[in-house]
């Protein structure tokens, strides 16, 4: 039975790759080379590349957004110092800006995939965050959503590399403020899953990297913070189906930073044979992922030996947070039933952050899965309190 399913999945995978190789249009501009064309002398992080384009592609936001824009900007790579191109979308609320200008929210999107066409700004539904953008617009924020380096622009996407994504977040704020002039230097970070990881790290580096900007606080929802235990769960053969589905993406991201990583040390069987499916972000791939996960067994993802487990734990540790002290207050929400990032992993990371002196309000919900969470008015109330300078709950005390 399993061999028949595998044959079907392999056929569909071949078909998918053929169909999706050119499935998504870009913004019509590109930069040559792995990280872009020659950078002009005097260029800085946050500089917009070319001209921002107004677009009507995000139709569900037409009634609440005065403007919707797509653009590319430069972000500084934390290792090489190179200014690399990153794509993004931005949205301006209808109405008159408040005194001092619109505040900005940098939205960190959840995992979409690692293929180049998995940039949310390429899609009218922003690959799942369009309703969240609508809510933030209604609350009076200019919203900028980065695609992250390597999604929609040349080069690889270093999935869960924290400082790359954090700088992408901060530089997106610089970029949108140069486009939308009636904005204040006050900004917020709001992220989900992968994006929650990015804005958490952005909070940690805001004092050192965010010159000219005033970070008010960050909201991390279902954050992927300490992911080291994933290696032990793989070795024990206890991954949940949801975790299995993320393995190819996580390993691909790690391999971007550590080329010596051998995928075959960690995956085999149908999930290895259909590896590319998990890197894509379209509906066909989503269905196939579910089928493959259902037939994936512990021997298919167990590290080849104890040394491989230890290497993986170390690489995951480099991507894990916290890594520094936060610059501003944090609101962190997660589900007690999260099957991707286990609640105990998140609780442990929060405890580590508290030990560093962070100010964290923690919200734990029940009966919800990993991703965007319904926390009622808690996020809006917290943002309002921080904005007004009112005392906010600190669960680290």
pTM of the predicted protein model: 0.90
d(CA 158, CA 250): 9
Q: What's the pLDDT score for residue 287?
A: 87
d(CA 285, CA 291): 10
Domain 48-225+322-388 has CATH 3.40.50.1820: yes
Q: Which helix (H) or strand (E) holds 246?
A: helix 241-257
Q: What's the pLDDT score for residue 284?
A: 82
d(CA 332, CA 350): 9
Write out pLDDT tens, residues 358-379: 999 999 999 999 999 999 999 9
Q: What's the pLDDT score for residue 2?
A: 41
Under 8 Å CB-to-CB from 94, ≥6 apart: which residues?
Answer: 63, 64, 65, 66
Average pLDDT for 132-145: 98
d(CA 91, CA 108): 14
Q: 333 forms bridges with which residues in the sheet?
A: 221, 363
d(CA 204, CA 199): 9
Q: What's the pLDDT score for residue 319?
A: 98
Q: With 60 as the cut, is the pLDDT of residue 180 above it?
A: yes
pLDDT band of residue 37 (cuts 50, 70, 90) is low
d(CA 125, CA 68): 13
d(CA 92, CA 69): 9
Smallest CA-to-CA distance from 216 within 186, 182, 175, 174 is with 186
Q: What's the pLDDT score for residue 22?
A: 32
Sheet holding 183-192, edge to edge: 48-54, 65-76, 83-93, 142-146, 102-108, 183-192, 214-221, 330-335, 360-365
d(CA 112, CA 128): 9
Write out pLDDT tens, residues 267-315: 999 999 999 999 998 888 888 999 999 999 999 999 999 999 999 999 9
Yes or no: say if 104 and 186 are a contact pair by the CB < 8 Å rule: yes
Q: With 90 as the cut, is the pLDDT of residue 339 above it?
A: yes
- Calculate Rg over the CA atoms of the chain: 20
What's the whole-number average pLDDT of the chain?
A: 91
């Amino acid at each position: 039975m399993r061999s028949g399913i595998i044959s079907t999945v392999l056929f569909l995978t071949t078909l998918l790759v053929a169909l999706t190789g050119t499935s998504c249009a870009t913004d019509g501009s590109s930069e040559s080379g792995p990280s872009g064309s020659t950078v002009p002398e005097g260029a800085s992080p946050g500089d917009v590349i070319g001209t921002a384009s107004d677009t009507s592609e995000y139709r569900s936001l037409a009634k609440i957004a005065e403007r919707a824009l797509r653009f590319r900007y430069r972000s500084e790579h934390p290792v090489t110092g190179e200014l690399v191109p990153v794509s993004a979308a931005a949205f301006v609320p209808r109405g008159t800006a408040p005194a001092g200008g619109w505040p900005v929210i940098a939205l960190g999107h959840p995992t979409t995939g690692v293929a180049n066409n998995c940039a949310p700004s390429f899609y009218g539904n922003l690959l799942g965050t369009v309703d969240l953008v609508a809510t933030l617009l209604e609350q009076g924020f200019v919203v900028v959503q980065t695609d992250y380096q390597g999604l929609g622009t040349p080069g690889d996407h270093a999935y869960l590399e924290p400082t790359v994504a954090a700088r992408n977040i901060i530089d997106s704020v610089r970029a949108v403020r140069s486009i939308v002039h009636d904005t204040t230097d006050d900004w917020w970070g709001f992220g989900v899953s992968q994006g929650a990881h990015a804005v958490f790290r952005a909070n940690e580096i805001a004092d050192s990297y965010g010159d000219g900007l005033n970070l008010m606080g960050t909201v991390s929802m279902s954050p992927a913070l300490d992911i080291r235990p994933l290696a032990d769960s793989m070795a024990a053969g206890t991954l949940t189906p949801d975790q299995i589905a993320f393995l190819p993406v996580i390993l691909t991201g790690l391999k971007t930073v550590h080329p010596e990583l051998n995928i075959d040390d960690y995956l085999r069987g149908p999930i290895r044979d259909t590896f590319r499916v998990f890197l894509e972000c379209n509906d066909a791939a989503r269905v196939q992922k579910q089928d493959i996960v259902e037939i994936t067994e512990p021997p298919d993802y167990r590290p080849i030996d104890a040394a491989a487990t230890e290497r993986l734990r170390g690489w995951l540790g480099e991507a894990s947070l916290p890594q520094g002290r936060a610059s501003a207050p944090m609101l962190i929400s997660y589900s007690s039933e999260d099957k991707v990032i286990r609640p105990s992993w998140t609780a442990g990371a929060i405890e580590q952050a508290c030990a560093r002196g962070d100010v964290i309000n923690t919200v734990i919900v029940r009966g919800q899965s990993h991703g965007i969470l319904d926390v009622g008015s808690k996020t809006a109330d917290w943002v309002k309190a921080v904005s007004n300078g009112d005392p906010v709950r600190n669960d680290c005390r």
